Amino acid sequence: MTLGKTRLAVLMVVVVGALVLFTACSSPAMAAHLVVTMSDGSQVTYNIPVDESQVQSVVLGSSEQSMTDAEAAIATVDGEPITRQDFYIALSDAVGRPVLDQLISEMLLAQAATRAGVSVSKDEVELEFEAVRQQVGPEFESLLAQYGMTADDLRNNLEISLLVFKISTKDAVVTDEQIAAYYDEHAADFASPEMVRASHILVETEADAQAALDRIKAGADFGEVAAAMSMDPVTARNGGDLGFFAAGEMVKEFEDAAFALTVDEVSGIVKTDYGYHIVQVTDRVEPRQASREEVGGMIERLLRSAHAMKPAELIAQLKATSLITVFDPRFADLGTAPLP
C-alpha cells in the first residue's frame, strides 16, 4: 500500500478491531500524527518524527500480524486490486460529511446527558414506539417505508428526542400547584364519554336484512353472517366489527339503535342512507373522569415541554460551546477548533 508524496495523505484501515486514521502533515518539525480511535470510542494521538516528503509507503500491523496485499484489497478486477484505502476514501467522499456530522451530534448529546445526569432506557423508547404505532394504526409499516425508515431508525430518532427533552428540561420546575391548576382548567380533556363497540351487517334491501336476521335468530354466528352477506368490505372480513365509538360519530339512526342495545344483544332492521343494517353491541364503556393522580405525569411532561428545545437547537448550542477537532480537511468546517 503506497502513499504519494503529497502535502497531506490520509489512510483509513481497520486493524484488529480499531479504526486507525493516519495523517501525514508537513510542519517545520517534519512530524506526523497517528490518531487511533479504539473500539470503545477513546482516542490516542501519537506524534511521529518523520519527514513526510520522504514517505514512499506505510505498513500497519503488529508483532503478530501485518497487513498483506490480500488484506489491503476489498475486491479484485481481473486480478487488479481495489484497495480498502480507495474504498474508504470513496465512501467517505460520498457520505462522509452527513455521517460524521451525525456522529458528532450524537456524541455531543451523550456527553451532555452525562453532565446532566439523565438517560433514556429501552423501555422508555419502546413505550414511545408503541404509542406512535397505535396512533398511526394499520398504515404504520407503509408510512415507515414511505420515509425510507426502518423500525430501528424510528426507535433511534425517538431515543434522541427523549434525550433532548430530558437534557433541555432538566432544570425546569413544575410544582404540584401548577399540575392541579392545569387539571382544573382542562378537566374536560380528561373525561371519557360513554362508548360502545358494535358490529354490523350492511345489505342493500330490507328482504336481505330480514334474511340475515333470520339466520342469526336460528343460531348462526353474527360474524359468519356478516362475512357472508355484508356489503361493507372493510368490516365484513372482521365479522362486521366497527370498533368503539362515542355519540356523534355515527349516523343518528345507527347510533340510536346501537346505544339502546345491551352487550351481545342484536337489533332489528335499522335503515340509514347507506342501506339496511343489523347491529350487535359487543362491549360498552361507561363515561368516566380520569383523576388528577392518573394524568399527573402526563400533565407534568406537558408543562415541561414548554421549556424543551428541538434537537437541532440543542445540538447547535452544544456545538457552539464544545471543542470539536476534525482531522480530515474535507470536513474541517464541522469542527470548532483548528488542527493541533
- Please give the pLDDT value at position 71: 57
Could you give the CA distance from residue 307 to residue 289 in angstroms, rounded to a whole number? Answer: 28
- Over residues 286-298, the mean pLDDT reads 91
Q: Three-class SS of residue 53?
A: helix
Give the whole-number percent of the chain exceeding pLDDT 90: 55
Strand partners, 283: 197
Half-sphere exposure of 59 (CA within 13 A, CB side): 8
Rounded Cα distance, 238 and 284, in Å: 19
Question: Which pLDDT score, from 0 to 100, does residue 306 have?
Answer: 87
What is the Cα gyration radius of the chain?
33
- pLDDT of 16 strictly over 70: no
Q: Residue 151's pLDDT is what?
A: 92
Residue 105 — pLDDT band, cuts 50, 70, 90? very high
Strand partners of residue 75: 82
What is the C-alpha separation between 130 and 55, in angstroms, rounded? Answer: 57
Dist CA 165 CA 186 (whole Å): 24
Question: What is the per-residue pLDDT for 7?
Answer: 27
Residue type, 42: S
pLDDT at 73: 84
pLDDT, tens only, 22-36: 333 333 445 566 666
226 — pLDDT class (breaks 50, 70, 90): very high
Q: What angle do CA 266, 270, 272 make, to 5 degrees?
A: 145
CATH fit for domain 194-286, picks 3.40.50.880, 3.40.50.720, 3.30.160.270, 3.10.50.40: 3.10.50.40
Q: What Å distances lie between residue 4 and 7, 30, 52, 90, 91, CA to CA?
A: 9, 16, 10, 17, 20
pLDDT given for residue 12 in this prediction: 30
pLDDT band at 59 (very low <50, low <70, confident <90, very high): low
Output the average pLDDT for the chain: 83
What average pLDDT does range 207-223 have in this prediction?
96
Domain residue limits, the chain: 8-67, 96-169+308-334, 194-286
Task: Answer yes or no: pTM beyond 0.75.
Answer: no
Chain centroid to Cα 163, Å, comes to 13
